[in-house]
Amino acid sequence: MKGFKHIARTVALLALLKGASLAAQEDELAALTNRLPADSVTVIGTADAPATLEAMRPWVAALLPGPPGEEGAKLSFADMLSDLAAGFSGPLVVGITPDRTWRLIARTERTQPELFQILRKLPLPAREDEGLVAMGPQDPFGFVGVHDGLLIGAADRGALNSLRAAPIEGQKTLLDDGDASLLLGSDEARQATLFFFSPRGALEEPAAGKEDLHPLAFASLQRRMERALKQLLQADATALCCLDVTPDGIRLTATLRLPGREGERPAASGRLKLPETWPVTLTGWGADFASVVDWIEAGMRAFDPDVGAEFREEMAELNRDLGYDFQRDLLGNLGPEWALGLLPAEAGGNVEWVLACGVRDRDGFIRCAEGLARLAKEPWGEKEPAGGARRFSTRAFTVPLEIAVGHDRFLMAPSAAALQRGLDTVERMEPAHQEAAPLWETQGVARFGGIAELMPDGEDFAVLRNPLSKLPADAQVVLHVWRLPQTQMFELSVEGITPAALGTAAPTPLRARR
């Protein structure tokens, strides 16, 4: 039910976004944001900087304890956050423009000499320089100053001066963009410990420089891979990412505004549910497996149109050799529900998994799977049916596979025992509530205790296994991704871990530094 709660909240949030954005125009966070250049590609901010620094303090103390002894006390990062918090008294925003220049603007009640005193407490060389505070050694990496109740800072003096005046009426600002206004003005952004905002087009690649000429610098390759990744992840949408840090855990949410997607909603169908005792579970709904081929091709075309065309050629050859259409007849036959889970550890056993997936045409699926095994020159044998499902064994990439195909779904596992556990435990839930149903949805849980038990004995894994096993029993990471017609939502929470628990679980060398 947890997923539905999130969805309901998102829908309600989106319904209120418009009103919230108008209100946001008037609040101080919006006022400061509007002072940043309209072409900022990233905005990082908080509605309450002292509270943000204070919320981070216990986590920083646990993760970065600093060296032991008196010297360590001077270098306590947590104390530095407290010192720094004294410099702010309200919202703070940082904008980064395409030329990689940063600008910071925040509300403060301090005077410039007081600010200078605060900065001098930090392990940063800071000196007064023509009415400003220059930070860094001889060649400062930034300047800060106090102006009209605002703390302003920037990478250079010119950028800093641009922050002194409020935007003139009619001048384009960041919040003029509808999506930006919607996301930056939302309650989510205002309540977040820290938000990161990226407007549409912000990730456009910069023009190639002369230093990129030599491909062995891998710059072109990297740029093209970024382009492909952006295409695949729709990373170039207007995006808001919120980080919520509380004493009980950390939550990261991302909202991407996308062009409206026309498409049929998946037919009502029960979801698959894996046991909560399994260390890692991932379940999905509304999956269109056939579109994976188009998705890969789009990424390859974004990388290089010739590579995309070659992929299509290869797929056509594969279809000729298979005698059926891999995308339509095999992938198109799967879903819309699916689940993948790692089974709990058994003494001395291998890590085992179970994949379950809906099947629309059982016989068609079996024919296609057998054809695939034949083309890959892998064995394909039918075994005794069990529980109304036909059972097969085959192999893929040296991994033995046991398959059970029922009338509406199939299960796959690397051993007969794992397959049986899947057959015994994978449940079908009631059909989703249609009004709130997203176009698709994926939920996953990784339970640290169970993962620690899966790790083999021995020194190689001890560095990871030992800290994980020391975390509280209910410590877990929860992933939730879902798609609404014009919005892509992403949520990642670390639950059941407190700063104190993190300190206890920290690897010995880190703890010893206390």
14 binds another protein (CB under 8 A): no
Stretch of 106-114, 131-139, 196-204, 207-215 contacting another protein, by CB under 8 A? 207-215
Name the H helices within 278-415: 291-303, 305-322, 362-375
Q: Report the alpha-carbon distance of residue 140 to residue 125 in Å, rounded.
A: 9
Query: Which residue from 169, 242, 180, 187 is spatially nearest to 19, judged by alpha carbons?
Result: 187
124 binds another protein (CB under 8 A): no
Q: Report in angstroms how near the CB of residue 296 gets to another protein at its nearest.
A: 7
42 Rama class: left (phi>0) / alpha (psi -120 to 50) / beta: beta
Amino acid letter for position 10 = T
205 binds another protein (CB under 8 A): no
294 binds another protein (CB under 8 A): no
For residues 311 and 490, which CB has a smaller minimum distance to another protein in the complex?
311
**Binder to another protein among 268, 375, 464, 512 (CB under 8 A)?**
375
Q: Report in angstroms how near the CB of residue 280 gets to another protein at its nearest.
A: 18
Q: Report in angstroms how near the CB of residue 435 gets to another protein at its nearest.
A: 40
Q: Report the alpha-carbon distance of residue 187 to residue 235 in Å, rounded.
A: 23
369 Rama class: left (phi>0) / alpha (psi -120 to 50) / beta: alpha
Q: Report in angstroms how near the CB of residue 303 gets to another protein at its nearest.
A: 7
Query: Which residue from 508, 439, 440 is spatially nearest to 470, judged by alpha carbons?
Result: 508
Q: Report the alpha-carbon distance of residue 444 to residue 338 in Å, rounded.
A: 12
CA dihedral (289, 240, 36, 158) positive or negative:
negative
Q: Report in angstroms how near the CB of residue 513 gets to another protein at its nearest.
A: 34
123 binds another protein (CB under 8 A): no
CA 13 to chain centre: 20
For residues 75 and 208, which CB has a smaller minimum distance to another protein in the complex?
208
**Binder to another protein among 71, 216, 434, 457 (CB under 8 A)?**
216
Q: Report in angstroms how near the CB of residue 369 gets to another protein at its nearest.
A: 14
Does residue 336 have a cis bond before it (omega within 30 degrees)?
A: yes
Q: Report in angstroms how near the CB of residue 488 gets to another protein at its nearest.
A: 25
For residues 307 and 446, which CB has a smaller minimum distance to another protein in the complex?
307
Q: Report in angstroms how near the CB of residue 223 gets to another protein at its nearest.
A: 8
376 binds another protein (CB under 8 A): yes
Q: Which residue has the tokens 């309450």?
A: 48
Q: Report in angstroms how near the CB of residue 404 gets to another protein at its nearest.
A: 21
Q: Report the alpha-carbon distance of residue 127 to residue 119 in Å, rounded.
A: 9
Q: Give 109-129 as a 3 state SS string.
A: CCCHHHHHHHHHHCCCCEEEE
- 213, 215, 216, 220 alpha-carbon torsion, rounded to 10°: 100
**Binder to another protein among 71, 264, 388, 398 (CB under 8 A)?**
398
**Sites for another protein among residues 495-514 (CB under 8 A):** none
296 binds another protein (CB under 8 A): yes
For residues 312 and 433, which CB has a smaller minimum distance to another protein in the complex?
312
**Binder to another protein among 399, 430, 435, 509 (CB under 8 A)?**
399
For residues 1 and 399, which CB has a smaller minimum distance to another protein in the complex?
399
Q: Report the alpha-carbon distance of residue 266 to residue 264 in Å, rounded.
A: 6
310 binds another protein (CB under 8 A): yes
Eight-class DSSP state of 458? S
For residues 248 and 310, which CB has a smaller minimum distance to another protein in the complex?
310
The crossing angle, in degrees rounded to 10, of helices 219-233 and 291-303 is: 150
Q: Report the alpha-carbon distance of residue 503 to residue 64 in Å, rounded.
A: 9
**Sites for another protein among residues 315-334 (CB under 8 A):** 315, 318
**Binder to another protein among 72, 218, 263, 485 (CB under 8 A)?**
218
224 binds another protein (CB under 8 A): yes
313 binds another protein (CB under 8 A): yes
Q: Report in angstroms how near the CB of residue 310 gets to another protein at its nearest.
A: 5
307 binds another protein (CB under 8 A): yes
Q: Report the alpha-carbon distance of residue 487 to residue 10 in Å, rounded.
A: 10
Amino acid letter for position 351 = V
**Binder to another protein among 99, 314, 382, 427 (CB under 8 A)?**
314
# residues contacting another protein (CB under 8 A): 26
Stretch of 219-227, 402-410, 456-464, 500-508 contacting another protein, by CB under 8 A? 219-227
99 binds another protein (CB under 8 A): no
* 50 touches 89 (CB < 8 A): yes
| CB-facing half-sphere around the CA of 85: CA atoms within 13 A | 17
Query: Which residue from 366, 417, 420 is spatially nearest to 394, judged by alpha carbons?
Result: 366
Which residues of this chain interact with another protein, rule CB under 8 A?
213-216, 218, 220-221, 224, 296, 300, 303-304, 306-307, 310-311, 313-315, 318, 375-376, 396-399
